[in-house]
Structures are given as structure tokens and as C-alpha cells.
Amino acid sequence: MGAGHTGLYVIMGVSGSGKSLIGAQLAAALHIDFVEGDDLHPPENVQRMAAGVPLTDDNRRGWLLRIADRLHDARRARIGLVVSCSALKRSYRDLFRSSGCADAQFVYLAGSRELLAERLAKRRGHFMPASLLESQLTTLEEPAPDERAWVCDIRESPDVIVADLVRRAV
């Protein structure tokens, strides 16, 4: 895959914002690969989250470096890539930028606490319990204007969000 479009995209936001769905659909629309960031968590992180224990910066570091490596590899190979990653803090996003991916486009899926909680209550089969939403919202540092993130309102349908992102990407 990956032929043609060479953009790098990080679909970010808290749990329940739709990162995996939007990321996979955007990648398909752009004909590039998609990496589910959750799949790159080490087993210890998954166990912590499944037990309702929030991750620390130290817990996240190795995971973030794995994602940065994927972005860097795509950049080096001159292929496009979409990655889903909460990227909750600016320092996490800066880590990606400083890892040879300064031009990665962050896409922030923004939504209200109420909508996110409603989505998480309906979600099945994911290791991240709804009880960690508050921790994620507390940790979240929304992208600052100088980060030039594309902000999407998750009240919109996935099709509308992806169509808007494709227009911006091409």
C-alpha cells in the first residue's frame, strides 16, 4: 500500500473519541497504511489500563517511541501513514516531531465529556475501561494554535469527518 500519498497523520484524542475508526477510514481513503497505536502498547501497559490504573509518562515512553519509529520509518521510505495515538500531552507530540517527523499532521478528535462517556459506556471488547476517561481528560493538553492540528468535532459522523480530512490532505 502506501504508494502515492506521502503524508503522515496522527489521529489523537482521548479514549472513545473515534481514533481507530477515523484513522482506518482516512488511511483507506488516502490508500495508505494504518497503524493502530494501541497494538504497540507493551503487555504491562495493557494490564495496567485493563485494571483501571492510569499510565504514567514513564509507562507511555516506550509506547510513544514505538509509534515515533513507525512514523520515522514511513517518512524515510517516503510512504504515507496514519497512526492512532492518544498523544494527550504536547510533550508526546513534540517527541514525534523531534523524531524526524516534524511534518506529521495531528488530527485532534474533540468531544464533550458527556459524549465520550456515552460512547465508552457502549463500547465492548476494549481493554481501556470507561473509568479511565477522567484521568485522560485531566492529562489532555489540547493542541495549541502553533501546533496547527486539525480539530474535528466528534458530533459529526465519521463519513463527514473523513471527507473533511481527505479534502485537507490532498
Domain boundaries, the chain: 8-169
What per-residue confidence (pLDDT) applies to 159?
A: 97
> Can you say whether the dihedral through the CA atoms of 2, 6, 26, 146 is positive or negative?
positive
Identify which has the larger pLDDT, 131 or 157. 157
What per-residue confidence (pLDDT) applies to 4?
A: 60
Instruction: Give the integer Cα–Cα distance in Å for 110 and 96.
Output: 20
What's the N-to-C CA distance of the chain in angstroms? 17
Dihedral-angle region of residue 66 (phi above 0 means left; psi in -120 to 50 means alpha; beta otherwise): alpha
Give the global pTM: 0.90
- Confidence band (pLDDT; 50, 70, 90) for 120? confident
Residue 23 near residue 55, CB atoms below 8 Å: no
Q: How many CA atoms lie within 13 A of 40 on its CB side?
A: 20
Query: Which residues partner with 34 through β-bridges?
Result: 82
Which CATH number applies to 8-169? Answer: 3.40.50.300
Identify which has the larger pLDDT, 100 or 169. 169
Identify which has the larger pLDDT, 170 or 100. 170
Share of the chain above pLDDT 90, in %: 70
What per-residue confidence (pLDDT) applies to 124?
A: 60
Sheet strand arrangement including 8-12:
33-36, 81-84, 8-12, 105-110, 150-153
